[in-house]
Amino acid sequence: MQIETHDAKKVISIALGVDDVEIPNNASIGNFKRWDSLGHFKIVLQLESTIRRSLQTDEVLSIVDIPSIQKILNTS
């Protein structure tokens, strides 16, 4: 479970240019300062780059926190 969290955190870490350890486990839209509107855009791009495909609109809409990013990673 910890490894899974790390994977999603890695995506956020690369996208936002922050160290994994600076990302709280409950990081989400609205509670992690670096995850602003521009950061959100970067996270989506990094996720698409990681899974090597474009996200569907419903997938883009599902991205709100670490578990939602992990879910996409797990199913791609």
Partner 1 sequence: MNSIKLKTNGYLIRPLKSSDASDRYLSWLLDEKISRTLDSDGKNQTLKSIVKYIQSHNNKTDFLFGIFIKNPKNIEGEHIGNISFRFQPRHKLANIGIMIGDCNYWGKGAPLETREKVIDWAFDNLNCNKIEAGCYSINMPAIYNFKRQHWEMEGIQKDHRIVENKNVDLILFGMRKEVWYANRNT
> What is the token pair recorded at 10?
């890695």
Report the nearest approach of partner 1 to the CB of residue 40 (Å).
4
What are the start-end ranges of the H helices in 17-65? 37-51, 57-62
Q: Confirm or reject binding of residue 60 to partner 1 (CB under 8 A).
A: yes
Query: What whole-number distance in Å separates Cα of residue 55 and Cα of residue 33?
Result: 24
Tokens 């791609």 correspond to what residue? Answer: 76
Query: What whole-number distance in Å separates Cα of residue 12 and Cα of residue 1?
Result: 17
Only segment of 1-9, 10-18, 19-27, 57-65 that touches partner 1 (CB under 8 A):
57-65
Query: What whole-number distance in Å separates Cα of residue 18 and Cα of residue 62?
Result: 22
Report the nearest approach of partner 1 to the CB of residue 2 (Å).
26
Q: Which of 30, 53, 74, 76 binds partner 1 (CB under 8 A)?
A: 30
Only segment of 3-11, 12-20, 53-61 that touches partner 1 (CB under 8 A):
53-61
Q: Confirm or reject binding of residue 14 to partner 1 (CB under 8 A).
A: no
